[in-house]
A and B are shown apart, each in its own frame.
Chain A
């Protein structure tokens, strides 16, 4: 279970996550069925980890 807090911005709702690597992520969850939120968050975290693993240092 991925823990998150919610942030509302007008009609938009975001799941806010403090990632294990120290990054902070906001995932839009407006319009998403509650039963699908965890799957959505996991996919975004997987993508993030995949990107970070291949990211060289800042130039």
Chain B
């Protein structure tokens, strides 16, 4: 389910969708386009300029945010002969989200890398999620010192690598990560 991509779109729809990823009229009270849950749908910070049109076709609700430190990726590709920048952490943790009917998803974070392999340069995400194949991640957003980036599942080449490992790769010519030691924030958007 997503917000309308054409036709009228209302603040109530935005608030309703931000609540639980559904348009089921289960919110009430005072609401603002500057509410944190509404802004989070499009990755905007408080009091940023926001247009209603930015919410068109938005699919997925933020379910998990991690703050990470950029480093040279040596966790998985110690022998990598090309260039890579990114983040490697041993464990993303797990989360339970009401959006997926309290579906419990254990995820082991394996890394988010930018790989230089011209002409196939790309952003490469790898997770180990056990038997939960191709978990419904609608998109991820990545905020780094270089900018704000959005990657949709529908644009990714997905690979089931076996043994619970899965990868998603998006075409990305240049690295999105700042210098080693700089900060990055990844937000996972899920949806039905």
Contacts and interface: CB of A to CB of B under 8 A. Distances in A.
A29 B16 CA distance: 32
A30 B157 contact: no
A20 interface: no
Nearest to B120: A47
B28 interface: no
B79 A28 contact: no
Contact of B157 (A27, A54, A58): A27
B163 A12 contact: no
B120 A9 contact: no
Given A47-B122, A59-B90, A24 B76 contact: no
Interface residues of B, number: 29
A23 B161 contact: yes
A55 interface: yes
Given A23-B159, A23-B161, A25-B159, A47 B169 contact: yes
B77 interface: yes
B81 A54 contact: yes
A51 B113 CA distance: 12
A50 B128 contact: no
Contacts of A6: none
B117 A30 contact: no
A22 B162 contact: yes
Nearest to B164: A58
A52 B167 CA distance: 11
Contact of A56 (B76, B90, B160, B169): B76
A14 B156 CA distance: 10
Contacts of A55: 76-77
Interface in A32-59: 43-44, 46-48, 50-52, 54-56, 58-59
Contacts of A47: 117, 120, 122, 169
Given A25-B157, A46-B120, A47-B122, A54 B162 contact: no
Interface of A: 9, 12, 14, 19, 22-28, 30, 43-44, 46-48, 50-52, 54-56, 58-59
13 contacts: A12-B154, A25-B157, A26-B158, A47-B120, A48-B159, A51-B124, A54-B77, A54-B80, A55-B76, A56-B77, A56-B78, A58-B128, A59-B75
Closest 10 CB pairs of A and B: A47-B120, A24-B160, A12-B154, A26-B158, A25-B159, A44-B157, A27-B157, A54-B80, A23-B161, A43-B120
